[in-house]
Structure 1
């Protein structure tokens, strides 16, 4: 990256109302090398956008879906999952139309979710959106660290059981594995920008299909071994759990399913990687969203339903741990290793907007600081080099360390997943896309379409509040028996 590349990078960040002029010299806006906004040509396609979405969506959330369906039963479980998929696709399509203000092919680009909110809504909503978006990204980083450590612990335990027999408890602490995951993220977090992690997204998407397919296959084998399908129409029975627990668990299941579909908070950033029209970026993004949501829903339905069919009311919070640790241990090791690789990539896909936001704020606040603005060129080969930025190195490293330490303190996979899903679903997936779309398309107040959009938003708000309450209740229950840094699996 040269000087123009650095300017492009900082402009890409999620901080509104800041212009950094780019000296193009003889290179013209709209030329073969530059887009209509003076930035280097974007090269993303429907397939790279789909890879980013699948990387973000088919994450650790898929592993909790059998448990979620187990709380809701055969009727409500799949129905709720289909409803969430429809809402996610619909509101994502609304959000895709907000990438450009005005004309869908020539209007001003909004590079980030916050830029889109600022272009369409008032100031206080921009601040609320920014807080929720970046708080959710921070929380997702914690959730992914927890999930990755659980999978690494599962590999260690399965190998222990294989070597020492089932009589050995093989208790393993998750703390060292969270540290290992954190070290890997420190390295990958030095990739400067979203455009440069497409290969990591594709690798992570392949890994997500790998472990989802293994989980599905093992579920089918377990159903055959059981001689039939387990589960009930209404989910886990009162008696197995108390009536209050039944209510809280059902609400938490909504949060888990919401988390499994959560990616709207980075949709605009993904859309900003798509090459310029024709066709318009919004059309390409809608196709990528349709493909991605359809594929992920198919996998979710298969994995969640087959997991519930295999285990019934005893469906585990993490599907792969339900198959035991002994046989076929090597297949489970492959699945868990695929989860870890996937989560390494998903962590980066989610965190890049937050990284860019902080770095843009820093360069705006201290424009003369060489620590923040100066890049140190490190040659990698005769034709390639890496620009090391000391501020980027320091701040991203601190961010990973903080999320890793918090993960060690709160390793409650299901409850954390449910709370994150609840926290981000209504405001970021539904409310802001609906409100921005109404402004963008100038939909008259109290018209039929306006009323329908507001009713959709209200219904999702109620679900979000209920899901958050259920997840908080679960965390409070876990805290009663948990000792920081000492929990073993």
Structure 2
């Protein structure tokens, strides 16, 4: 089955001399790498997959904490902030010129080219720490959706009063096994089909949640909603109101964050048209689409459940019937998270593998590939290091997810720590540096104000995440399997 020995694309990237032949050159981009084939459509799919996580179904809870006035306003504000800073970051993919400059393959490369210094290490710490946290969080969330399917059938069969306890661990193992296979996809460039499927799934479960909410609103009786959200003394205590407000703002802010993978997504785009132009178009489509779904799911969900909105009205059983439709929605969530996991872990894989290739350029274990013929697929380039390292990473995330089932609070803390630097600070600072903007000019001033305001939001959201984590640790029971 094993064909002739051939060098990996990674090895070719660091040894461009082996592709000087003209027959190879016509299949390579200006940087000597295989021609990129992505378009604004595939980039939009990647963005939607990264942005619309299962958290869209928790937005009803977020709106319930903020109310009819602040809730939609915060949603719209963060959609604008994310779009604006993403367009700034898109112009940094090539430097110093955004159209003809040298390519930067990762977020760290972008920061290195535009800012340099210790900021590169800070960027890497924030980015890859967040990516690792997201993949662990997705393992937990996907297992909760799988468990919800089993519990939904149990409730339908035995009644809603039955506890129907189910362990998450077997489902985490199933999810990890699937990820071990998908992780052998070589890089982001081969991932567009999976992102398209995941994007369709996100539309499906969001639409189901929206439809069930509309049906609940029409059926009545109408839930109690207010302009300012949960009422102090009735729904929550004064201190809980403050913490939950901060948590809700943080949830909405981090629901839009995809800057951790923006540069890697942009690196899949072919040109012409210029990569920054195509990425801006993809960003506008992706953000507009997600904002529509966020507003609909958040506001209609709040209208359906009022101030008692559950954290996730599909996995949290805001709906029990029709059970088959709830099951379908949760299956769609699990399939979407299978794809989203890959979108967030591929930058980690690429970073580790490129660093190892630079460190040990002569190692056949790291750099050599073999052509393997697979049924219904054709030739597949097998790499020993990729198999071992990526499998080990997936196993590690699954073990951590099983050890710390409240890891979503850690994820919220990681999100709070990474939102400001990756989504706001670095894009603004790089734009100021690239344009050589005068200090204290009008544009410089309002950009700095925006950056500092988002820093405050990150800090208060981090405080709320720590408070929630402390509460969960106190309540944690290792042998409690009910979700």
TM-score between the two structures when normalised by the length of structure 1: 0.93
Give the CA deviation at 1:413: 7.1
Q: 1:403 to 1:322 in 2, by over 3 A?
A: closer
Give per-residue Cα distances to partners, 1:201-253, cap 9 Å, x unaligned: 00000000000000000110111122436321111122232211111111111
Are 2:241 and 1:246 aligned? yes
1:321/1:101 CA distance change after superposition, 3 Å: same
What is aligned with 2:417?
423
* Pairing 1:469–2:471 present: no
Deviation at 1:95, TM superposition (A): 0.2
Asked if 1:400 corresponds to 2:394, the answer is yes
Partner-residue secondary structure (3-state), 1:172: coil
- State the secondary structure of the residue aligned to 1:236: coil
What SS class does the counterpart of residue 393 from structure 2 fall into? helix
Distance 1:357 1:138 in 2: 13
Match for 1:49 among 43, 47, 55? 43
* 2:8 alignment partner in structure 1: 6
Over residues 287-329 of structure 1, what are the superposed CA-to-partner deviations in whole Å (9 max), with x where a residue is unaligned?
1100110000000000011111111111111121355464100
For 1:297 and 1:4, how far apart are their aligned partners in 2?
46
252-261 or 412-421, larger mean C-alpha shift: 412-421
Write the mapping of 1:73-92 to structure 2, written as runs, cut at 5 A.
Answer: 73-92=67-86
Larger deviation: 414-423 or 285-294?
A: 414-423
Point out 4+ residue stretches in structure 1 off by more than 6 angstroms: 1-5
Greater mean deviation of Cα atoms: 220-229 or 310-319:
220-229
The answer to whether the aligner puts 1:276 opposite 2:275 as a matched pair is: no
Distance 1:36 1:98 in 2: 17
Query: In the alignment, what sits opposite 1:350?
Result: 344
Q: Structure 1 residues 218 and 151, CA, compared in 2 at 3 Å: closer, same or farther?
A: same
Per the TM alignment, residue 85 of structure 1 is displaced from its structure 2 partner at its CA by: 0.4
Distance change >3 Å, CA 322–CA 372, structure 1 → 2? closer
Measured in 1, the distance between the counterparts of 2:7 and 2:228 equals: 56
Are the counterparts in 2 of residues 204 and 343 from structure 1 also a CA contact under 8 Å? Answer: yes
Give the RMSD, CA atoms, in angstroms.
Answer: 2.1
Aligned partner of residue 23 in structure 1, secondary structure: helix
Aligned to 1:328: 322
1:227-266 to 2 correspondence within 5 Å?
A: 227-228=221-222, 230-239=224-233, 240-266=235-261
CA contact (8 A) 2:146 2:171 kept: yes
Partner of 1:34: 28
In the TM superposition, what are the counterparts of 1:447-486 in structure 2 within 5 Å?
Answer: 447-484=441-478, 486=480
Q: Would the aligned equivalents of 2:5 and 2:368 in 1 still touch at CA under 8 Å?
A: no
Partners of 1:150 and 1:129 lie apart in 2 by 31
Q: Is the 8 A contact 2:68 2:226 kept in 1?
A: yes
Q: d(CA) in 1 for partners of 2:197 and 2:320?
A: 28
Q: Which runs of 5+ in 1 are unaligned?
A: 12-18
Change (3 A) 1:149 1:56: same
- The secondary structure found in structure 2 opposite 1:41 is coil
Q: Give the conservation status (yes or no) of the 8 Å contact 1:257–1:421.
A: no
Q: Secondary structure at the match of 1:321?
A: coil
Separation in 1, partners of 2:12, 2:319: 47
The counterpart of 1:411, out of the listed 384, 405, 409, is: 405
Number of residue pairs matched?
Answer: 480
Q: CA deviation at 1:168?
A: 2.5
SS across alignment from 1:385 = strand
Q: 1:15 is matched with which residue?
A: none
- Structure 2 distance, partners of 1:432, 1:258, is 17
1:374/1:206 CA distance change after superposition, 3 Å: same
Deviations along 1:99-131, one digit per CA (max 9) or x if unpaired, are: 110223211111111111000112200011011
Q: 1:71 to 1:106 in 2, by over 3 A?
A: same
Residue 57 of structure 2 is matched in structure 1 by 63
Give the conservation status (yes or no) of the 8 Å contact 1:154–1:325: no
Aligned to 1:160: 154
